[in-house]
Amino acid sequence: MSSLRRPTLMLTSVAAAAALALSGCSSSGTSNKSGGSGGGSTSPTNTSASAPAPSGSTISVPAAIKSKGTITIAMDATYPPDESIANDGHTIVGFDADLGNALAKAMGLKADLKNVTFDDIIPGLQSGKYDVGLSSFTDNKKREKTVDFVTYFQAGEGFYVKAGSGKTFNGLASLCGHTVSVEKGTTEETDANTQAKKCKVTVLSFADQGQANLAVSSGRADVGFADSQVVGYIVKQSNGQFQVTGQAFAVAPYGIALPKGNGMAKAVQAALEELMKNGTYQKLLKKWGVQSGGISKPVIDGAIS
């Protein structure tokens, strides 16, 4: 998720998380994300029921989108609590999923959630395959060259290790001399590879967060590296298999990714402001236990680095 981001992690329970570590947590089966960190199938699949569109939305949506009546939202559903697959094996659930449905409704549209690989999301936005990328993307200046972002959350980066390993990590310099597991396309992958230019770090990159977790649980990697709130969830759901090590760092905004210059950024910003004003946004943060990452003012292209 790169996103500050993302087994096919279909974790919704403690037992599932342990199984995930043995089978593979993005942004993103297949993953299309940022720094972050999801699990989806190689080919996009519709895995969530569409939210009914209200009539009478006053938000101005570009005519090309409004005429369709539906926005296709791509996410890598291997990155709980932001996005993952429910126990039914196909429905996308999580903070991002709920927010995507709520945003579509606020704009008078229906949401069609697609579970895709994180690395495929931005190319899919550029080609017109998807209308929105909502998958724990870190909003950074490099990404802003190809897509627009509307900020909606903030998160840091964090480490987790196999419980009882005796290994401790705190900050990028602590990776020197170790093997780190990351999801492809994430901010964490970029940061780990940058650190590897300064000292000896072996970076293992995986298509989804589940496989990255498996590398840590099997001992192939010394440490896992993901977005801070995702690390907390992985550890909480692992039934004691993993533990957090060190403090969260490099806090940065998450952004909702949109095709560059197509007019949707202002519409999404207005919709998000409406959800904040009517309390929906705050309710969703609380529902998924991610209140610490909430923001009060969404901005367009708000990258800090």
Q: DSSP characters for 252-304?
A: EEEEEEEETTSSHHHHHHHHHHHHHHTTHHHHHHHHTT-GGG--S---BS---
Low-confidence stretches of the chain (pLDDT beneath 50)? 1-3, 6-46, 49-53, 55
Give which of 235, 303, 275, 250 is closest to 104, Cα–Cα.
Answer: 275
Are 109 and 228 found together in one domain? no
Task: Give one DSSP letter per residue of 24-55, joined into a string.
Answer: -------B--BSB-----SS-EE-SPPPPPPS
User: Does residue 297 belong to any structural domain of this protein?
Assistant: no
Per-residue pLDDT, 38: 34
CA gap 24, 67 in Å, rounded: 40
Question: In the prediction, which pLDDT does 79 show?
Answer: 87
Of 112, 101, 97, nearest in space to 54 by CA: 101
Q: How many CB atoms lie within 10 A of CB 243?
A: 17
Nearest to 217 by CA among 50, 71, 51, 7: 7
Same domain, 135 and 220: no
Axis crossing angle, helix 95-106 with helix 280-287, rounded to the nearest 10: 160
30, 117: one domain: yes
Q: Which pLDDT score is estimated for 78?
A: 87
Q: Are residues 143 and 187 in the same domain?
A: no
Same domain, 61 and 144: yes
**Residue 304 belongs to a domain:** no
pLDDT at residue 31, as a whole number: 32
> Around Cβ 296, how many Cβ atoms within 10 Å?
7
Same domain, 144 and 278: yes
Give the pLDDT of residue 4. Answer: 56
Question: For residue 17, what pLDDT is reported?
Answer: 34
Domain membership flag for residue 5: no
**Domain presence at residue 200:** yes
Q: What is the pLDDT of residue 56?
A: 58
State whether 31 and 56 are in the same domain: yes
User: Is the pTM for the entire model greater than 0.85?
Assistant: no
Reading the block at residue 90, the tokens are: 């196909």
pLDDT in tens, 104-115: 999 999 999 999
What would the pLDDT profile of 168-225 be if each residue is shown by its tens digit? 999 999 999 999 999 999 989 999 999 999 999 999 999 999 999 999 999 999 999 9
Give the dihedral sign, CA 278/281/282/286: positive
The pLDDT value given to residue 289: 85
225 part of a folded domain: yes
What CATH code is carried by the domain that includes residue 42? 3.40.190.10
Inside any domain, residue 299: no
Q: Which residues of 251-284 are buried (b: 16+ CB within 10 A; e: fewer)?
A: ebbbbbbbbeebebbbbbbbbbbbbbeeebbeeb
Residue 65 belongs to some domain of the structure: yes
Instruction: Name the residue range of residue 150's domain.
Output: 14-155+252-289
Residues 7, 112: Cα–Cα separation, whole Å: 23
Please report, in angstroms and rounded to a whole number, the separation of the first and last CA atoms in the chain. 16
Same domain, 20 and 138: yes
- The answer to whether 101 and 111 are in contact (CB under 8 A) is yes
Instruction: Quickly list DSSP for 151-200.
Output: EEEEEEEEEEEETT------SGGGGTTSEEEEETTSHHHHHHHHHHTTS-
Distance (Å, rounded) from C-alpha 75 to C-alpha 88?
Answer: 18
Residue 8 lies in a domain: no
Tell whether 118 and 144 lie within a shared domain: yes
Does residue 214 sit in the same domain as residue 267? no
**Are 74 and 207 contained in the same domain?**
no
**Do 86 and 171 reside in the same domain of the chain?**
no
Phi-psi region of 218 (alpha: psi -120 to 50; beta: other; left: phi over 0): alpha
Q: Which residues of 60-76 are buried (b: 16+ CB within 10 A; e: fewer)?
A: ebeeebbeeeebbbbbb
Q: Count how many domains the chain has.
A: 2
CA 126/CA 20 separation, integer angstroms: 32
